[in-house]
Amino acid sequence: MCPGSEDSLKTKSYSNGSLEKASYKQFSFRKSYCFVNKLTVTVYSLLFLTCLLDGECHARKCFYATLVSVVFGLQLLSAFYTVIEEHLLLVVPLRIQMTSIYYYGQQSTVSIPWYKIADLMIIDEITCQQVLPFLAVQFKEGVTIDGQSHIILFPNMRPRLAHLERIYRDLQQIIDANR
């Protein structure tokens, strides 16, 4: 990560005071990414390639040109699929909507109807030597989306536990008030 880069959580809410009318709460989670390290690797590989191209061996030139092209292509591909921002929009009587925004501007949206939501939970996943917390929406009995009984919120950002607990408290209050 770059020096000085950090993740941030922003919330917005609107309500006209009546539970019969629509109200919304939006959680936005954004991470700052820098691709300085990837750019540095690319520049060094290009410098390495130019040093090697001064030699006489044609097969060696082709090999290193292919190697540099593959490294550069993989770096470009990983930047293309990097999620930089995720939004969670809670429209109380209607739905929960999750939006992921990618580095180059693409968006993907998942919407969960309000009547399918049963509860919220914080799930801990153990991978290698880390414990990663996730916030998930559990569906009602017998309801599945894509064969799953729950869906993870902010799956790409992996926010810190303090952020997840804050979001959990706010969402749980809203869900309990509108059951």
pLDDT tens by residue, 50-78: 666 665 556 666 677 777 777 777 777 77
Q: Among the ranges 45-49, 89-93, 125-129, which has the highest mean pLDDT value? A: 125-129
161 within some domain = yes
Number of domains in the chain: 2
138 within some domain = yes
Range of the domain at 52: 36-80
- pTM equals 0.68
Q: Are strands 130-139 and 7-14 parallel, antiparallel or unpaired?
A: unpaired
Chain segment 10-36, per-residue pLDDT in tens: 666 655 554 444 566 777 767 665 555
Q: Which residue has the tokens 């390495």?
A: 48
pLDDT for 19 equals: 42
Q: Which residues contact 49 (CB under 8 A, 6 or more apart)?
A: 64, 65, 68
User: CA 7, CA 166: separation in Å to the nearest integer?
Assistant: 15
166 within some domain = yes
Statement to judge: residues 74 and 152 lie in one domain: no
Statement to judge: residues 45 and 119 lie in one domain: no
Statement to judge: residues 97 and 115 lie in one domain: yes
160 within some domain = yes
Tokens of 12: 């917005």
- Under 8 Å between Cβ of 88 and 98: yes
Going by C-alpha positions, the residue among 68, 72, 69, 88 that lies closest to residue 80 is 72
The mean per-residue pLDDT over the stretch 135-158 comes to 84
Statement to judge: residues 90 and 18 lie in one domain: yes
Statement to judge: residues 45 and 105 lie in one domain: no
Chain segment 72-102, per-residue pLDDT in tens: 777 777 777 788 888 888 887 788 898 988 8
User: CA 82, CA 60: separation in Å to the nearest integer?
Assistant: 33
